[in-house]
Amino acid sequence: MTPGRHRARFRPAPGLANRHVQTLLPRLLPGPALQLREEILELPDGDFVELAWAAPPPGEPAPLFVLFHGLEGSRRSPYARQLLAAARHRGWRAVLMHFRGCGAHPNRLPRAYHSGDTTDAHWLLSRLARRYPGVPRVACGVSLGANMLLKLLAEDPDDALGLAGAIAIAPPLDLAGCADTLERGVARLYQRHLLRALKAKVAPRLDAGTLPLSLSPAQLARLTTLRGYDDAVTAPLHGFADAADYYRRASAGPRLGGIRLPTLIVHADDDPFMPRPLYDELDLGPGIRLETARQGGHVGFVEWRHGRLASWLTRRVARQLDDWQATGRCGRTTPGPGHANPSGA
């Protein structure tokens, strides 16, 4: 994988290039047939996260694909099912980690999750390294999960986790800028949708008095922005002074320069969740390959292929997994002249 800045070879489906259309289209794509096995992973602090496993076909020991979802995502998210199915189809053992409270059960402790919370992902990856010794492991994050993953890689400069590679899809590297962007124009509809989901999860716990917040249900209901929610809920629950402190400490953008692990970042210039420009002032670490597409929306990237709408994003990730497998060292070499170029996906 050649590091540096590259133009992604994505072409939106004809007539469907609008960034909001691209953002919403994945919900209309047919979902893959996929059976997932559930596992509860106990955490050192007494809480837990829920894992969803897509087992590989029987045969040789499989490499491991670990997926981290976006804000209020889950195994039901269209991108999650597409990526897990694509990895499984290629013989990978694929698993999605639900952030605390995003699975079928509420988490135990009076806290939730956030964009910079790398502790649970670190614990999971460490456990998987012991469970599957000698097996190549690749981590992939989407949106919030992508920012979290990049921050985790920056915190692990010596590759103590032993990952072979990483993929970050639409990471909100400037959390303050993203919060501002979601307060303008049509993007406010996405903010309203996300706020509704966050409030629905917190409201019962406020009613039950199980959260250490000086916030009433009525005050929660009156919050109208993600910044306001992060000020009133996310920051105090997780030890930040306020939303600004949270955004500053959790944003992965300023940390990219230290990442040496082979890492693919996929970004759309027209992402309605992101400020523009997002990457111009950021230093990229020697392991990072940044692919930007002019269009694609937020975790959209829907193309026209073989006479139907299809996910280019899934195809790009699958191509990268194929390429890493073909190198024999899962991403630690650059393909030679006769090798398929993954950027051609």
Residues β-bridged to residue 129? none
Out of 143, 251, 311, 343, pick the active-site residue. 143
Quick one: which of 329, 274, 324, 264 has its CA closest to 297?
274
Active site residue 126: no
Active site residue 158: no
- CB contact set of 173 (below 8 Å; sequence gap of 6+): 147, 150, 251, 252, 253, 256, 278, 279, 282
Out of 174, 230, 270, 271, pick the active-site residue. 271
98, 69 in Cβ contact below 8 A? yes
Q: Which segments of the chain does DSSP mark as H helices, in order?
A: 19-24, 78-89, 119-131, 144-155, 175-181, 187-208, 217-222, 226-229, 235-237, 243-250, 312-327
For tokens 């699975």, the residue is 103
144, 204 in Cβ contact below 8 A? no
Out of 298, 311, 323, 343, pick the active-site residue. 298
Active site residue 216: no
> Which are the catalytic amino acids?
143, 271, 298
